[in-house]
Amino acid sequence: MQLPDDNLLKFVDYFKADRVIVEVNQIVSLFNGQCPEIGCHGIWNVTDQKIEGGVLLITHQCSKGREGVWSSSAVIAEKWGQKLYVSSVLLTSSVLVSGNNFEKGSLLVKGMNLRYVSSSFFIRMQSLYALPSIPDLWSKMKEVVWKVFENDVLVICEDGRMDSPGFSPKYCVYKMMEHYLNIPCQP
Ligand SMILES: [Zn+2]
């Protein structure tokens, strides 16, 4: 099975870009001094800096007039002038796919004063992008899994886990897995 398909390969490339933690001051200092434009003798300055959705945006201007905005992340999509950044998508969706939640993610980054996304931004990203993608991918995977097992006798292992260890449980997660290939099964 080819997962993801060709339409998704550019998003895989976005994902594969290396990322590091950088101190904002270290970056801002790069935007001061001689204007980098060839032949220009103007002085380069930062006129504005902000962090939105975990992305650093620096507005810079040369004393001769040239202006620009630098962002710490590539743009994955643009709609009605609004840019959606790769880092914002990854910051929020990686919390979900690693089995964590917003509070745990926030606590982790708080320990290093790493600027994170707000809870409303997090919820918006989950409901618009991350949550719809998971059942979509899973349904594609299921088609393949069922084909593989089509004419087989299956040995299924099952287990359930309640949200509370002992009393007043509310939610139960029930899983089924093929015994020999360890492939999750779902009717
Ligand atoms: Zn210049």
Residue 120 predicted with pLDDT over 50: yes
Q: Calculate how far, in angstroms, residue 39's C-alpha sits from the geometric centre of ligand 1.
A: 8
Q: Calculate how far, in angstroms, residue 77's C-alpha sits from the geometric centre of ligand 1.
A: 29
Q: Calculate how far, in angstroms, residue 34's C-alpha sits from the geometric centre of ligand 1.
A: 8
Residue 83 predicted with pLDDT over 90: yes
The neighbouring-strand residues paired with 62 are 44
Per-residue pLDDT of 29-41, as tens digits, reads: 999 899 999 999 9
Q: What does the domain layout of the chain look like in residue ranges?
A: 6-137, 152-187
The neighbouring-strand residues paired with 56 are 51
Task: Return the closest-CA partner of residue 1 out of 121, 143, 122.
Answer: 143
pLDDT range class, residue 43, cuts 50, 70, 90: very high
Residue 44 predicted with pLDDT over 70: yes
Residues 45-52: what's their mean pLDDT? Answer: 95
Q: Calculate how far, in angstroms, residue 40's C-alpha sits from the geometric centre of ligand 1.
A: 5
Q: Calculate how far, in angstroms, residue 87's C-alpha sits from the geometric centre of ligand 1.
A: 29
In degrees and rounded to multiples of 5, residue 103 shows phi and psi of -65, -45
174 φψ region: left (φ > 0), alpha (ψ -120 to 50), beta (else): beta
pTM over 0.85: no
Q: Calculate how far, in angstroms, residue 72's C-alpha sits from the geometric centre of ligand 1.
A: 21
Task: Return the closest-CA partner of residue 63 out of 35, 48, 43, 46.
Answer: 43
Per-residue pLDDT of 135-159, as tens digits, reads: 888 888 888 888 888 888 889 999 9
Rounded-to-10 torsion of CA 25, 30, 34, 39: -150
Q: Which ranges of the chain does DSSP label H, i.e. alpha helix?
A: 9-16, 24-28, 86-97, 102-110, 119-125, 131-149
**What CA–CA distance (Å, rounded) separates 121 from 93?**
12
Q: Calculate how far, in angstroms, residue 52's C-alpha sits from the geometric centre of ligand 1.
A: 27
Q: Calculate how far, in angstroms, residue 67's C-alpha sits from the geometric centre of ligand 1.
A: 8
Per-residue pLDDT of 160-182, as tens digits, reads: 888 876 677 888 888 888 888 88
Per-residue pLDDT of 2-23, as tens digits, reads: 555 677 788 889 999 999 999 9
Q: In sequence order, which residues have a C-beta less than 8 Å from that of residue 101 and are 6 or more positions away?
A: 95
- Can you give the pLDDT at residue 154? 86
Q: Calculate how far, in angstroms, residue 73's C-alpha sits from the geometric centre of ligand 1.
A: 24
Cis upstream peptide for 4 (omega within 30°): yes
The neighbouring-strand residues paired with 177 are 157, 184
Q: Calculate how far, in angstroms, residue 26's C-alpha sits from the geometric centre of ligand 1.
A: 21
Give, in degrees to the nearest 5, the angle at Cα 140 between 136 and 146: 135
Q: Calculate how far, in angstroms, residue 134's C-alpha sits from the geometric centre of ligand 1.
A: 47
pLDDT range class, residue 1, cuts 50, 70, 90: very low
Q: Calculate how far, in angstroms, residue 140's C-alpha sits from the geometric centre of ligand 1.
A: 51
Q: Calculate how far, in angstroms, residue 51's C-alpha sits from the geometric centre of ligand 1.
A: 25
